[in-house]
Structure 1
Amino acid sequence: MTTTGANLEACLIVQPPVRADEEPAVESTSEPVKMSRRLFVTGTAAAAVGGAAIGRAAADPQAGHTLWYGKPATNWESESLPIGNGALGASVFGGVASELLQFNEKTLWTGGPGSPGYDFGNWRTPRPGAIETVQRRIDVDGRAEPDWVAGQLGQPRNGYGAYQSFGDLVLTQAAGPGAVSGYRRHLDIADAVAGVSYTSGGVHYTREYFATAPDNVIVARLSADKPGRISFTTAVRTQSNRTATITSRSGRITLSGRLNDNGLRFESCLLYTSL
């Protein structure tokens, strides 16, 4: 999807998970993408250059409780800026030509009763004397190796599961930016707002990102100080361990599908609104 405007507000909303007995609404099928529960991203016009690695946050005399950087992030774990509300989370990379938001939702997990062979961690067959065997080893040797004890008393991790990344929201500028100056990427710890700002082609661009608990959404606001400067393509990416259906219509991208491992269904909606 390509969007252009003087001021633009883009909203990504991840709806609550679809119940197991409900089929997600589908209109057309396309490449794989997905999500779970409920996320919201909002934006107002921008674009920017991609970028180099960063070490640690620089010292800004006027920053207060703010971490700030002079380049976009290239590493999720050590450089991206996190925001969240306890249920939803996102990591802001701050690229110029292409902005990346990696987002999560707390209920999107593999494993559980939907996984093949799931046994709730219980023994599948009786093990008479298993506990006594471990006790005797400790009585005789004074100790027992954890791996050996796990083999005697534990179960294979069938359906144990793991937390999953929901996906990536990618905003790619339609025309590559010119020279960029005054780039700044920051996270204000005091009010939990992340942001990006820079100047290119005589236009000053800003972005703000925050998560709100009362509304249970994540918001991204992208803006430019001159009209008609926003034009970008929007894409949502996801991992290969799931399937998805993508529907695009009237400024709305709907994603729905399920995890391969346990069949967990999910659905999301990406909305754009001009200001």
Structure 2
Amino acid sequence: MKPFHGAAKYANRRCFRSKLKSLLHRRERKDNVEQKIQVQTPMRLWYRHPAQEWTEALPLGNGRLGAMTFGRTDEELFQLNEDTLWSFQPRDSLNYSAADYLDQARRDIANGAYKQAQEIIERHMQGPGTEEYQPLGDLKLKFGANSGPVEFYERQLDLDTAVSKVSYVREGVRYTQEAFISAADQVLAIRLSADRPGSINVTASLETPHLATVNLEAGRGVLTMKGTGPVRPDRESAPDASDELIYEENNGVRFESQLLAVIEGGMKKIGNGLELSAVQADAVTFLLAAATSFNGYDKNPGSEGKDPAVLVQKTLVAAAEFNYDELKLRHLKDYLPLYSRVKIHLGASVATTFRRTNG
């Protein structure tokens, strides 16, 4: 009896269809899982220890005001910057006498006197040094009244919300710190809270490497830091001057930052006039605003600049009209439409979702 080849072909075809269906089903399940991962996986950086140096700190910013938060539990550090604080003053940066030394430099090079040619070029033919971006200063939050070991520590930066968070347990109390920089209200907002009333004891201070003064306005309860940034030396009046930055009266960018504390429960303490403290508070919200006298590339920021005090006070008064939750909501309404325009999926798996950022 001859074999029925049509039956074999039918069986093979049915087997192929079955395998294809199974393969497509597995692919569909894989796509569904990846889709869920894309939706559910939080876009966040998180760590089990505070930052030890600047490169480990987490950045916050709104395009003008910036901060690096370290997530420390004894003395938290926010390193601050403002985008117009540079070593700046208007000047003509052309070196009009450079051509006078060109022939001599060429002769020295032709004669093999390279070192002599280099000295001539460096001394007489170069323009002034480029300007340098300057730090605004440091905001330090010193926590007191507890010295026990820290447990269950975690710090994170949630890219989906541009909000940083630090959480840990100390002496049975869970402490939480949230922070963000709002483009809508132009302030750094920091919220300290605990799950036991009266547990927040914190002292805030402002420091800067520049010539500045810090004082506490007791009436407003505002800590103010004001100062002036450095400039480059004038080459025309001092051609042999070092290229290092210097401080001059009526020159350089003037700056000011103001820190307001909103204390819930507990009491406010004024210390030595250089610090702002909250004692046995339930929660504390800090608002920091900053501005400079920069008024354009062609205006001397020392004598023709804006008044940073007016700008800062206006910003801080406006932001203080809202509580922390309202400020955060305004921040998210501004941030999310921009952030949500683009999504990136790097092939993360469920296993890596719960792995801390640094391994």
TM-score by length of structure 2 reads 0.49
How many residue pairs were aligned? 201
The superposition leaves residues 137-169 of structure 1 with CA deviations (integer Å, 9 ceiling, x where unpaired) of: 9xxxxxxx9998777753232xx4311111111
Matched, 1:90 2:39: no
- The structure carrying a bigger strand percent of its residues is 1
Could you list the per-position Cα deviations for residues 196-230 of structure 1 after superposition, in whole angstroms to 9, with x for gaps in the alignment?
A: 00111221111111111121122111111121111
Displacement over 6 Å in runs of 4+:
129-137, 145-152
2:70 maps to amino acid: F
Gaps spanning 5+ residues in structure 2: where? 1-39, 109-116, 230-246, 265-359
Counterpart Cα distance in 2 of 1:188 and 1:172: 24
Deviation at 1:263, TM superposition (A): 3.5
Q: Deviations over 1:96-127 (max 9, x none)?
A: 111111111111111323xxxxx42112x445
Aligned partner of 1:266: which letter? F
Q: Tell me, what secondary structure is at the counterpart of 1:73?
A: coil
> What is the identity, as a one-letter code, of the residue corresponding to 2:252?
G
The 2-side partners of 1:189 and 1:147 are apart by 50
Q: Distance in 1 between matches of 2:185 and 2:225?
A: 21
Residue of structure 1 aligned with 2:92, choices 95, 102, 120: 120
Kept after mapping to 2: 8 A contact 1:197/1:206? yes
In the alignment, residue 271 of structure 1 is paired with which amino acid? L
Q: Is the 8 A contact 2:52 2:70 kept in 1?
A: yes
Residue in structure 1 matching 2:52, options 50, 74, 93: 74
Q: Decide whether aligned partners of structure 1 residues 121 and 249 sit closer, same or farther in structure 2, where only a CA change above 3 A counts.
A: same
Q: Which residue of 2 aligns with 1:36?
A: none
2:218 matched residue in structure 1:
249
Kept in 2, the 8 Å contact 1:112–1:161? The answer is: no
Please state if 1:265 is matched with 2:254: yes
RMSD: 3.0
TM-aligned CA distance change 1:84 to 1:199, over 3 Å: same
For residues 213-252 of structure 1, the aligned pairs below 5 Å read 213-239=183-209, 241-250=210-219, 251-252=221-222
The answer to whether residue 151 in structure 2 is matched with residue 174 in structure 1 is no
1:133 Cα deviation after fit: 9.0
Residue type at the aligned position of 1:272: A
Q: Does 1:274 align with 2:263?
A: yes
The amino acid that maps onto 1:99 is: E
CA distance in 2, matches of 1:128, 1:172: 57
1:44-95 residue CA offsets vs partner (Å, 9 max, x unmatched): xxxxxxxxxxxxxxxxxx862111111111101x210001011011011111
Structure 2 CA distance, aligned partners of 1:83 and 1:212?
9
Q: Quick one: structure 1 residues 135 and 188, their matched pair in 2 at CA, closer, same or farther if it must change by over 3 Å?
A: farther
- CA distance in 2 between partners of 1:74 and 1:204 (Å): 22
The question of whether the paired residues in 1 share the 8 Å contact of 2:51 and 2:71 is answered with: yes
Given the superposition, is the C-alpha separation of residues 110 and 232 from structure 1 closer, same or farther in structure 2, using an over 3 Å criterion? Answer: same
Structure 1: gaps (5+ residues): 1-61, 114-118, 138-144
C-alpha distance after superposition, 1:8-34 (max 9, x if no partner): xxxxxxxxxxxxxxxxxxxxxxxxxxx
Do the aligned partners of residues 234 and 63 (structure 1) sit closer, same or farther apart at CA in structure 2, a change above 3 Å counting? farther
| Percentage of identical aligned residues | 39
Which of these two proteins has the greater Rg computed from alpha carbons?
2
Distance in 1, matches of 2:63 and 2:193, equals 27
TM-score where L is the length of structure 1: 0.63
Q: Distance in 2 between matches of 1:191 and 1:69?
A: 17
Question: In structure 1, what is the equivalent of residue 354 of structure 2?
Answer: none
User: Kindly tell me: are residues 265 and 73 of structure 1, through their superposed partners in 2, closer, same or farther at Cα, counting changes over 3 Å?
Assistant: same
More helix by share: 2
- Rounded Cα–Cα distance in structure 2 between residues aligned with 1:72 and 1:63: 23
| Preserved contact between residue 89 and residue 252 of structure 2 (Cα < 8 Å) | no
Q: 1:234 to 1:246 in 2, by over 3 A?
A: same
